[in-house]
Amino acid sequence: MAAITAALVKELREKSGAGMMDCKKALTENDGDIDAAIDWLRTKGFAAAAKKSGRIAAEGLVGVAMDGNLGAVVEVNSETDFVSRNEQFQGFVSTVAKLSLASNGDLDALKAMDYPETGRTVAEELTQMISTIGENMNIRRVQVLKVDGGEVAAYVHGAIVDGLGKIGVLVAATGSDVATFGKQVTMHIAATNPASLSRDDLDPQLLEREKQVLTEQARESGKPEEIIEKMIGGRINKYYAEVCLLEQVFVIDGESKVGKAATAAGVDVKAFVRFGLGEGIEKKEEDFAAEVAAVAGGN
């Protein structure tokens, strides 16, 4: 049996929004497994954890670069938000985004590329930036989209300069009006953060996990198994409509499904990528009062 520490309970409470005792019970029931405990809380109706577990918890910038039917998005993290306003850091992220176009989405290949006019690689230039600015930094991830016979549309949410901001989205599509409709879809994706393009490419683990939670919720209601099966079918369809891009309600008009809106616009959406700054990274919480007290106590 894993030890249920106060730190573990605190972590679950922050992720789920559930009460302290409910979190402790959830961890006890699931041998300290955070993900299983979140599912248990959702099953009992104690938390809407899925929407809170991916909160942003890192600083830096997301950069986007375009070249015809090719688009690249990269995330470069820093310790504080102050660095994102530093022109030197902004220039570095912008340059790395442009270099990413030739990386084929390979992070190691990107880091090994020559950084312009320095005689250093991208990785070496990053080290130079760390020593100059005085904060730890990391090129966390990169992705490239290419579409034959089509275009790649891009959108940066919260842009502080051209191509740099907090959320970067690329959409690869073909058709007669990719420039206009593609831009609208990128903005939709920034707002809704879909998990997949369609049902066919939804992560099977995500789907299975949702089915398990929904099944347990239905059983908690005491319904017969044959009724439960029908309930699950309807709720899974609702889940698809929430997480699959082509089945989501288009935020631009608030009525059409994205897939139907694309067909009406003569556009075929092939792929997308969305980078939200710091998603999935846990950021250390600073307790400045405790820090000051510790310093004062040491004097």
Q: Helices 87-100 and 122-133 sit at what angle, rounded to 10 degrees?
A: 170
The per-residue pLDDT for 17 is: 64
Averages of pLDDT over runs of 10 residues in the chain (299 residues) are 82 73 86 87 60 53 94 93 92 97 96 94 88 83 95 94 96 91 95 95 90 78 73 84 95 93 95 92 56 51
Q: What kind and span of H or E run contains 20?
A: helix 20-29
Domain residue spans in the chain?
Answer: 1-55, 59-196+262-276
What pLDDT does 294 receive? 54
- At 239 the three-state DSSP class reads helix
Given this model, what pLDDT does residue 56 score? 37
**The pLDDT of residue 225:** 72
Which pTM value belongs to this model?
Answer: 0.73
Q: What is the pLDDT, as a whole number, of residue 52?
A: 39
Token pair 């573990």 is found at 8
The answer to whether the beta carbons of residues 247 and 240 sit under 8 Å apart is yes
Q: What is the pLDDT of residue 296?
A: 53
* H or E, element range at 176: none
Report the pLDDT value the prediction gives residue 161, as an integer from 0 to 100. 94
The values of phi and psi at residue 60, to 5°, are 125, -145
Residue 46's pLDDT is: 59
Rounded-to-integer distance, Cα 152 and Cα 146, Å = 7
Side chain identity at residue 155, one-letter code: Y
Domain 1-55, CATH:
1.10.8.10
Please tell me the CATH superfamily of domain 59-196+262-276, with its number. Answer: Elongation factor Ts, dimerisation domain (3.30.479.20)
What local confidence, expressed as pLDDT, does residue 231 receive? Answer: 76
How does 242-261 read in b/e, with b if 16+ C-beta sit within 10 Å? ebbbbbbbbeeeeeebbbeb
Among the listed residues 171, 178, 176, 174, the one whose alpha carbon sits nearest the alpha carbon of residue 155: 171
3-state secondary structure of 276: strand
Beta-strand (E) ranges in the chain?
59-67, 70-78, 114-115, 120-121, 137-146, 151-157, 164-165, 167-175, 267-276
The pLDDT assigned to 53 comes to 40
pLDDT confidence of residue 196: 96
Nearest to 189 by CA among 264, 248, 277, 270: 248
Tell me the residue length of the chain.
299
Report the pLDDT value the prediction gives residue 245, as an integer from 0 to 100: 97
45: Cβ–Cβ under 8 A, 6 or more apart, which residues? 217
Token duo for residue 192: 């809704």
Q: Quick check: helix, strand or coil at residue 80?
A: coil
